[in-house]
Amino acid sequence: MKSDEKNEYVTNFEFKLLDNNNTQLSEYQGKIVLLNFFGVNCGYCKWQMVDLAEIYKNYKDLGVEIISINVYITLGETIEYTQQMITEAKEQGVYLNWTFGVDDTSGTLANKYAKDGVPQLYLLDKNGNVYNSWLGYTEYSVIVQKLEELI
């Protein structure tokens, strides 16, 4: 699906946070959400994290949330892998301080929202509707252009 098509939608789902507690996407209703499906061992995903860190720094105070969910759980990645990625990024001056979670071991979210690959991004409006989506590494300026339309 091309990123300019607006007929995609994301249903509410539950996911596990890095502290092993569960939450739901609906908990973020009322905020603009940039939903990021990724894998720790995905090179393009790592590049995407750098741009997401800049977006979060610049837009968190405007009601923008980022949720990054590791969908490489089915490939053997774990919560610990994800936590290690966040720590290593911080050591390099890149602060990944937004909400992180992981898919279940069956790949439920991967099969539904990232079946064509990662990184997969969905920009959700305050009502949870998909405003735009991107597959593959997407430059900061491209994401911010659509984000600005929602703010």
Confidence at 10, pLDDT banded by 50, 70, 90 = confident
For every residue of 3-62, DSSP letters joined together read TT----B----EEEETTS-EEEGGGGTTSEEEEEEE-TT-HHHHHHHHHHHHHHHHHGGG
Confidence at 9, pLDDT banded by 50, 70, 90 = low
Residue 1: what pLDDT?
A: 32
Residue 36: what pLDDT?
A: 98
Query: How does pLDDT run across 94-120, given as a tens digit for each residue?
Result: 999 999 999 999 999 999 999 999 999
Residue 11: what pLDDT?
A: 87
CATH superfamily of 14-20+31-150: Glutaredoxin (3.40.30.10)
Separation between Cα atoms, residue 10 and residue 44, nearest integer Å = 23
Q: Residue 4 pLDDT > 50, yes or no?
A: no
Query: How does pLDDT run across 43-96, given as a tens digit for each residue?
Result: 999 999 999 999 999 999 999 999 999 999 999 999 999 999 999 999 999 999
